[in-house]
């Protein structure tokens, strides 16, 4: 059976009759799922649950009267003929909306760059360096917003967003630049360790209070799993109980306060290590690579914006300095 292409257009004609518009949240969810070929990755990007994304997709399919995805294949979701047609239309629609926003924003605040960044990166790294950028580029204003997801970034109406993405989807493009590739390792307040140095015997780690990040049972990757670390160190597969906090910001704050040993990312703990607020608990040979990387992303309409080029170039330069100092 041949399915007619699905068209969604911004070119509505005012006829005095109420328009039957497609669910916009469904279009956004569809575009993300089609781009990633995965409902899971779409949910992560949009800051939603998988069931919420699936619900929005079903609502959109009901509105259109057409199935948008085939059954999952070995390479992920595969759009149907109707889905492929809708994807082309939706990308164009979202680009039009981004251009419309940019035109109005440029007229209202031409010199201010709105930047969305995760809380941990803001608190532990960016805010210390941002005054240096502003001192050198006084004609560019920067407004910093905490945005942990694409949904929060849209709500804040940011121009740029620094995202924390799986390596599989973090690649350079015309609207995205890879910034930081980090390592994960245990850290603690120096006074907690003998001679304020890394443990000579890794088995001694079992004697220290542990700070766990995230909900119990959540899979953030082996590098964030204390049981995985204890198994690597030959201490058994079960890590001892201890304090559990929701975010890495809280985990590092607890470690700096002397509450125990936390797992930290190399970029986030760089300044705290240099200031001796934290120290390594294990030698660097035990470091684990992070399964995620930082990227900075901007809408296509801002690709030629000199402020975007200036700020993203500066971020990349700061990342290079960090790599050189490690």
Same-domain status, 188 and 281: yes
Per the structure, the count of domains in the chain is 3
Report how far residue 245's alpha carbon sits from residue 178's, in angstroms, rounded to the nearest whole number.
28
Same-domain status, 307 and 259: no
Question: What letter does residue 111 receive in the DSSP assignment?
Answer: T
32-35-38 Cα angle (round to 5): 75
Tokens of 59: 């609502």
Same-domain status, 190 and 282: yes
Same-domain status, 190 and 280: yes
Report how far residue 18's alpha carbon sits from residue 24's, in angstroms, rounded to the nearest whole number.
17
Whether 45 maps to a domain, the answer reads yes
**Structural domain span for residue 239:** 182-290
The pTM (predicted TM-score) of the whole model is: 0.66
**pLDDT tens across the length of the chain (326 residues):** 444 555 544 444 444 455 677 888 888 888 888 888 888 888 888 888 999 998 998 998 888 888 988 865 556 788 888 888 888 888 777 777 766 665 555 554 446 899 999 999 999 999 999 999 999 988 888 999 998 887 888 888 899 999 888 887 778 888 888 887 889 999 999 999 998 999 999 999 999 999 998 876 666 778 998 988 999 998 876 666 788 999 999 999 999 999 999 999 999 999 999 999 999 999 999 999 998 989 999 988 888 888 999 999 999 888 778 765 55
Whether 13 maps to a domain, the answer reads no
Q: What are phi and psi of 211, to 5 degrees?
A: -110, 115
Asked whether the beta carbons of 247 and 121 are under 8 A apart, the reply is no
Report how far residue 187's alpha carbon sits from residue 199's, in angstroms, rounded to the nearest whole number.
11
CATH number, domain with residue 268: 3.40.190.10
Same-domain status, 203 and 261: yes
Asked whether the beta carbons of 40 and 50 are under 8 A apart, the reply is yes
Same-domain status, 175 and 186: no
Same-domain status, 200 and 75: no
């Amino acid at each position: 059976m041949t399915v007619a292409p699905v068209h969604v257009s911004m070119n509505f004609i005012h006829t005095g009759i109420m328009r039957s518009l497609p669910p916009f949240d469904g279009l956004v969810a569809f575009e993300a799922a089609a781009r990633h070929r995965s409902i899971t990755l779409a949910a992560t990007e949009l800051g939603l649950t998988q069931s919420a994304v699936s619900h929005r997709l079903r609502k959109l399919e009901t509105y259109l009267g057409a199935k948008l995805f085939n059954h999952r294949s070995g390479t992920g979701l595969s759009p149907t003929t109707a889905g492929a047609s809708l994807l082309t239309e939706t990308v164009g629609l979202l680009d039009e909306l981004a251009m419309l926003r940019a035109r109005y924003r440029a007229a209202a605040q031409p010199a201010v760059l709105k930047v969305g960044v995760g809380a941990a990166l803001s608190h532990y790294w960016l805010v210390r360096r941002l005054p240096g950028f502003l001192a050198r580029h006084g004609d560019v204003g920067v407004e910093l917003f905490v945005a942990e997801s694409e949904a929060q970034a849209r709500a804040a109406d940011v121009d740029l967003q620094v995202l924390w993405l799986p390596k599989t989807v973090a690649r350079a493009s015309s609207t995205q630049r890879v910034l930081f590739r980090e390592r994960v390792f245990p850290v603690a307040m120096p006074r907690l360790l003998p001679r304020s140095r890394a443990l000579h015997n890794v088995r001694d780690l079992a004697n220290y209070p542990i700070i766990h990040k995230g909900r119990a049972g959540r899979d953030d990757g082996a590098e964030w799993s204390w049981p995985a670390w204890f198994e690597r160190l030959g201490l058994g597969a079960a890590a001892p109980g201890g304090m559990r906090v929701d975010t890495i910001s809280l985990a590092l704050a607890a470690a700096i306060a002397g509450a125990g040993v936390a797992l930290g990312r190399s970029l986030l703990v760089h300044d705290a290590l240099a200031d001796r607020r934290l120290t390594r608990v294990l030698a660097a040979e035990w470091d684990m690579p992070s399964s995620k990387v930082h990227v900075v992303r901007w809408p296509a309409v801002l690709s030629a914006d000199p402020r975007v080029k200036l700020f993203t170039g500066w971020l990349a330069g700061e990342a290079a300095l960090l790599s050189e100092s490690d």
